[in-house]
A and B are shown apart, each in its own frame.
Chain A
Amino acid sequence: MNVIFIIVEIMLAFALALSFIRLAKGPTMVNRVVALDLIAIVVVGMMAFEAVRSGEHALLDVAIVVGITAFIGTAAFAVLIDRDARAQK
């Protein structure tokens, strides 16, 4: 089981690093919002994994809250960008 934990941890860390690269590169703001959304989802996955590894199941509550916050953030960014685009026309 220990080997599997290490493999999963490395894969999740790589996923987080790749989405941070997109967050830094992203040509427009919308790309950065997408990267932030993916970062939040990967963090939720890491919390679920950590709950299995350490046996601390209270982390799942934190994961649910992070997920809800990420969705609200994405929706708010989308509404802001939409309003901006309509105002410019």
Chain B
Amino acid sequence: MINILVAFCLVSGAVFMLVAAIGILKLPDLYQRLHASSKAATLGVALLLLGAALDSGDMGVVSRCLMAIIFFILTAPVGAHLITRAAYYQGEPLAKETLSDEWAEDRSAREP
């Protein structure tokens, strides 16, 4: 029974990792690439670590895995936000399908 759970966690985690990697290769824009990598990869690594925690059955290993999962869930948005802000300030181009850039509109409305 626990083997089935571990196998499910491992396979779905690896699928999410693969989705994140395909997204980072195929999406047209830095911001969309970061969207793929920060969400899908975080969920993938959390599922893989959950699989490791379920497989061991040892309290020390489970607590280490939970700590790593909480760490990744806390730091992935922070890192994505930092790198996106730096890229926007640097003038990283938006994809040509982009419909609106509200930050630029706000700034141009404030300082004409």
Question: Which residues of A approach B to under 8 Å, CB–CB?
Answer: 1, 4-5, 7-8, 11-12, 14-19, 21-22, 28, 30-31, 33-35, 37-38, 41-42, 44-45, 48-49, 51-52, 57, 60-61, 63-64, 67-68, 71, 74-75, 77-79, 81-82, 84-86
Residues of B within 8 A of A (CB): 3, 6-7, 10-11, 13-15, 17-18, 20-22, 24-25, 30, 33-34, 37, 41-42, 44-45, 48-49, 51-52, 55-56, 58, 61, 64-65, 67-68, 71-72, 75, 78-79, 82-83, 85-87, 89-92
**Contact: A45 with B45, CB < 8 Å?**
yes
Give the top 4 A-B pairs by smallest Cβ distance, nearest first: A15-B21, A78-B82, A18-B21, A85-B90
Interface of B is mostly: helix
10 additional contacts (CB under 8 A) given A15-B17, A82-B90:
A1-B3, A11-B14, A15-B18, A21-B25, A30-B86, A42-B41, A44-B72, A48-B49, A60-B64, A67-B75
